[in-house]
Amino acid sequence: MSGAAGPGRAPLPCAARAAAALQLPGGAEAARPGVAVIDLRFPRGGAADVQEIVFKNFYTAFLSLRVQRAGPPGPRRWVTCLRDHRLMPSPHTEEGSQDYFSLRRHQMLCDMEQVTALRFILRQPSPAWLHFSIEELQVFPPAQKSPQQDFPSWLSQLTPPEQPASPHRELPDPEKVSTEVQQMWVLTEVIRARQAAARIGRFDVDGCYDVNLLSYT
């Protein structure tokens, strides 16, 4: 299960700047403010619809997301679409600290159409961690309808239409029977096509299991 792209899903190309920690104006010491920001823009100032955002967490506790959308010319507003989404249930402990997350459109507070820039605001209130960030950020557009399927979909939709009670009670309705049998046949074909996952259980190679030393790689 490596890689997030399924059929028809490729991540949008984008340039993400590294996480920048919040600095207080005039502050000279290297403080650890616990807030960092990652800005993401699409190349050449383009805009795109965003369906899903996938990333790997690295010790970020809460995530807020703001987007800038293409719109009438003039100063662009940042709109908050996710507020303090909890990634680590307990910020002092390891739970969720290196997990993979998905943010989907239906979780957002605003529309994700024609987005020009994304701003990830990362918060980690616990002083226990030295660094925090999010990694492997990928943004996906809405998926296109996939034309391929396992077998023609019309075959699976063969439900017989409602018919009046057959006048011949002894024999079943031939239409109905043939529909059912066709469905059964298609299912059997599908099952046969899939490989069984049964193990054979042999551990030797061609009847030989002469092993000298273990390998370190």
Partner 1 sequence: MLDPDSGLSLTIARIVQRLQGSSLHSQLERQARVSLHKPEIKLESLKEDIKDFLKTSGWEKKLQNAVYSELNVFPSPCHPAAPPEHMKEPLAYMRKAQGSWEKRILKSLNSMCTELSIPLAQKRPASEQKELLNKWNEMGTDEPDLSLFRPVYAPKDFLEVLMNLRNPNYENGEQPSFRNHLGLIQVPLKVKDIPELKEDFSELGLNTGQLGIDDSAQVPPEFFENEHVRVGQKVLAEQDSAAAQQYVRQGCPTALRADLWALILNISNQPEDILYYEQLKSNVIQYDLLVDSLIYKDVKLTASNDDYYFVFEDYLYQVLLCFSRDTSVLDHFTYSSATPPKSYIRGKLGIEEYAVFYPPNGVIPFHGFSMYVAPLCFLYHEPSKLYQIFREMYVRFFFRLHSISSHPSGIVSLCLLFETLLQTHLPQLFYHLREIGAQPLRISFKWMVRAFSGYLATDQLLLLWDRILGYNSLEVLAVLAAAVFAFRAVNLMEVTSLAAAEAVLADLSTLKVMPLLQIFLFATVT
Please give the structure tokens belonging to residue 56. 């790997």
By CB under 8 A, is residue 201 in contact with partner 1? yes
- Whichever of 39 and 180 has its CB closer to partner 1, that residue is 180
By CB under 8 A, is residue 194 in contact with partner 1? yes
- Whichever of 71 and 94 has its CB closer to partner 1, that residue is 94
By CB under 8 A, is residue 30 in contact with partner 1? no
- Whichever of 76 and 83 has its CB closer to partner 1, that residue is 83
By CB under 8 A, is residue 171 in contact with partner 1? no
Residue in 8, 17, 31, 90 binding partner 1, rule: CB under 8 A: 90
Check: CB of residue 164 under 8 Å from CB of residue 173. Answer: no
By CB under 8 A, is residue 214 in contact with partner 1? yes
CA distance 163 to 167: 11
By CB under 8 A, is residue 135 in contact with partner 1? no
CA distance 23 to 30: 9
CB 98 to partner 1: min, Å: 5
Which residues between 139 and 168 bind partner 1 (CB under 8 A)?
none
CB 74 to partner 1: min, Å: 36
Check: CB of residue 38 under 8 Å from CB of residue 132. Answer: no
Q: Torsion angle, CA of 89/93/98/99, rounded to 10 degrees? A: -30
Beta pairing, strands 78-86 & 62-69? antiparallel
By CB under 8 A, is residue 120 in contact with partner 1? no
Query: What single string gives the DSSP state of each residue in 27-61?
Result: --S----SEEEEEEE-GGG--B---EEEEEEES--
By CB under 8 A, is residue 138 in contact with partner 1? yes
CA distance 209 to 203: 8
By CB under 8 A, is residue 204 in contact with partner 1? yes
CA distance 122 to 134: 8
By CB under 8 A, is residue 18 in contact with partner 1? no
Beta-bridged to residue 31, according to DSSP, are none
The contact set with partner 1 (CB under 8 A) reads 1-4, 6, 54, 56, 58-59, 89-90, 92-95, 97-102, 104, 127-131, 136, 138, 172-173, 176-177, 180, 184, 194, 196-199, 201-205, 208-217
